[in-house]
Structure 1
Amino acid sequence: MRETLGAEDPSLEVTDLDAATAAPGDLSTLASPSLFGEPRLIRVGGVERLSEAFLNEALRYVESPADGATVVLRHAGGVRGKKLLDAVRGGAGGGIEVPCAEVKRDADRSAFASGEFRAAGRRVAPGALRVLVSAFQGDLAELASACQQLIADTTGDIRESTVQTYYAGRMETDAFAVADAALAGRAGEALVLLRHAIDSGADPVPIVAALAMKLRSMAKVLDAKGPAARIASEHGMAPWQIDRARRDAQGWETAGIGRAIVFAAETDERVKGAARDPEYAVERLVRFIAARGGAG
């Protein structure tokens, strides 16, 4: 939508609005014609969490939309906001519904983020893309906002160090740093990173999840032959993820990966309530993985 409207008029004004926190009058103000009459695109996220005030204002707006303004309502599912959705589905204000399948695969999330940078004419390093996608596994709108922040606040190529600088506090980012060190057999470094992450408030659950995900990716590629693109399409992954999994799997044997995957599953149960000390459970897993699935 942004690209289409921007191609029609480069002076397009793009604004993001959160339906859950928007103040009364925000939508009408943003949609009002500007002094020079530039077209406006208002992207409203979190409609599934909308406030009562926003609901009432939006219902009034769709009955009489502003000229030159395009409003995109993003609804992630659920019954909240149904009255507004029904109004749009009914054609109020010329509105239409565009169903969007939920993006679940990392390959699709990676392609989405890559597209954000490409549209802005910016290059992003594969490592930076991996860290960014890993850091925003939840709401796709959050991933989009993170991409736009990097585009707006930086110049030149987007590198892994750039992403780490901006989003080092994301739990998933910390989790993958621990995983990378452990899988490479650097037990000491992995344990130091683990302790730093936990001391910074990271939850053991996403750390275990990151380790398990990487192990599963390694299992898929360890004995796979052929180009990364073909293997990626078979497993719903991006080619760079295949290349990374192959590097992670260097020095591993199939049996060791199998044992580590089982250990990770058991640790997942422990950190979710089956163990008295979740942090110790993660430390045991990190040591086990750093020993290539041995008895560490």
Structure 2
Amino acid sequence: MAAGPAPAPLHLVLGEDEFLTERATMGVVSAVRAATPAGEDPPVVSRLGGPEVTAAQLFELLSPSLFGEARIVVITGAAELGKDAVAAVLDAARDLPAETVLIVQHTGGGRAKTLAADLRKAGAEEHATGKITRHTEVMGFVRSEFRGLNVRVAPEACEALVEAVGTDLRSLASACDQLVADTGGKVDVEAVRRYHSGVVGVSGFTVAERAVVGDVAGAIEALEWAMHTGVPHVVLADALADAVNSLALVGTQRGVAPGDLARQGLPPWKVKKVQAQTRFWSIDTLGTALQVVSRLNGEVKGMAEDTSYALERAVRQVGTLAASA
């Protein structure tokens, strides 16, 4: 089999998400191995990193090999490397030995924060692995997973999968792969519900949907379970804001055709559901709810000392507003 095109020798995997970081790293490793000429041994993979790593250890690992074998060196936890270790990585990055590929995992912060920028200047190929928290980002991740599996999946099925599985990317990636394998690529809402009907989990969308129809007790119960199972507070706040903003879009344009609403940013499959929810709302209560979710957005991003309390208060307020309309 012919070898693939030679990958870049220097890679910067930049971001805080552990799953995406490892996936990007293994993607580079796989590409390097695929480019190995027929008849040659695949490169050896070595990992080293963290705050206790010394410059001497890095120098030994990154020095030219006496036997000239192909190597892949992965530096983990690069954001916490010491000054001498950072210098050793940069010296190697600027003049990598032949047959050596260097992959540096960096969060973008830490005591070695400037290393990321220096690696860019050295010509590193960058792989973004920042945390995905917003609803639109999670949905985009799910869609890209299905595209990578050569399957087209409707938005409502992607939404159903996130509602069933939650926002953990590793779990979502596994669920996408399993669904495609088990259904032969025919993934729809019914298939998602059939395969995940036994999943015990609550997403931010569950909380939001109960709140915007006035089910205060149900929304608080779902919120408590979501927080207990580790759903990020930013995700919960974003889901509530998305629900209220969708209601505002539809509720202030009663009678507008679904197609026209879709052109304003609301997916066609979602219009009917939101139109049904608008019966719980008036223009005045929607205006108040928009203020509630706007304040919550700031609170979960650092303005509140207790984000759990801020979330519960906002969910109660939205649910009460819906119940009073």
Give TM-score scaled by structure 1 length: 0.57
Partner of 1:210: 239
Query: Matches of residues 160-179 of structure 1 in structure 2 within 5 Å?
Result: 162=196, 165=199, 168=201, 174-179=203-208
> Match for residue 264 of structure 2?
231
- Out of 79, 89, 96, which is 1:64 matched to? 96
| Pair 1:41–1:181, CA change in 2 (3 A) | farther
Aligned to 2:143: 114
Q: 2:221 aligns with which of 192, 208, 224?
A: 192
Shift of 1:178: 1.1
Partner of 2:182: 156
1:231 match: secondary structure: coil
Deviation at 1:244, TM superposition (A): 3.0
Residue in 2 aligned with 1:140?
none
Q: Which amino acid aligns with 1:231?
A: Q
Do residues 55 (structure 1) and 86 (structure 2) align? yes
Aligned mates of 1:51, 1:207 — CA distance in 2: 34
Instruction: Give 1:179 deviation, angstroms.
Output: 1.0
CA distance in 2, matches of 1:149, 1:57: 38
Once the two structures are TM-superposed, the CA of residue 133 in structure 1 deviates from its matched residue by 11
SS, match of residue 69 in structure 1: strand
The answer to whether the 8 Å contact 1:191/1:286 transfers is no
**1:1-296 matches, cutoff 5 A:** 2=27, 6=31, 9=34, 49-52=79-82, 55=86, 58-62=89-93, 63-65=95-97, 67=99, 69=101, 71=103, 76=108, 80-83=112-115, 85-89=117-121, 91=122, 95-96=123-124, 107=136, 110-121=139-150, 125-128=157-160, 130-131=162-163, 135=167, 143=169, 148-150=173-175, 155-156=181-182, 159=192, 162=196, 165=199, 168=201, 174-197=203-226, 207-222=236-251, 223=253, 225=257, 226=259, 230-232=263-265, 240=267, 243-244=269-270, 246-252=272-278, 253=281, 255=283, 256-265=285-294, 272=304, 278=310, 281-282=313-314, 284-291=316-323, 294=324
| Residues 78 and 41 of structure 1, relative CA distance in 2, 3 Å threshold | closer
Structure 1 residues 113 and 207: alpha-carbon distance in aligned structure 2, compared to 1, 3 A threshold: closer
* Amino acid corresponding to residue 207 of structure 2 in structure 1: V
Question: Is residue 133–residue 234 contact of structure 2 (8 Å, CA) maintained in 1?
Answer: no
In structure 2, the gaps of 5 or more residues are 1-6, 8-26, 37-41
Q: Helix, strand or coil for the counterpart of 1:135? A: coil
Q: Which amino acid aligns with 2:220?
A: L
Structure 1 residue 187, shift from structure 2 partner = 3.8
Structure 2 residue identity aligned to 1:288? T
2 CA distance for matches of 1:257 and 1:87?
49
Deviation per residue, 1:80-110 (Å, 9 max, x gap): 4424532551x4xxx345597x999754653
Contact 2:216 2:316 in 1 (8 A): no
CA spacing shift, 1:283–1:219, aligned 2, 3 Å: closer
CA distance in 2, matches of 1:290, 1:195: 20
Identity of matched residues, %: 19
Q: Counterparts of 1:195 and 1:254 in 2: how far apart (Å)?
A: 28
Distance in 2, Cα, partners of 1:258 & 1:213: 14
CA RMSD of aligned residues (A): 5.6
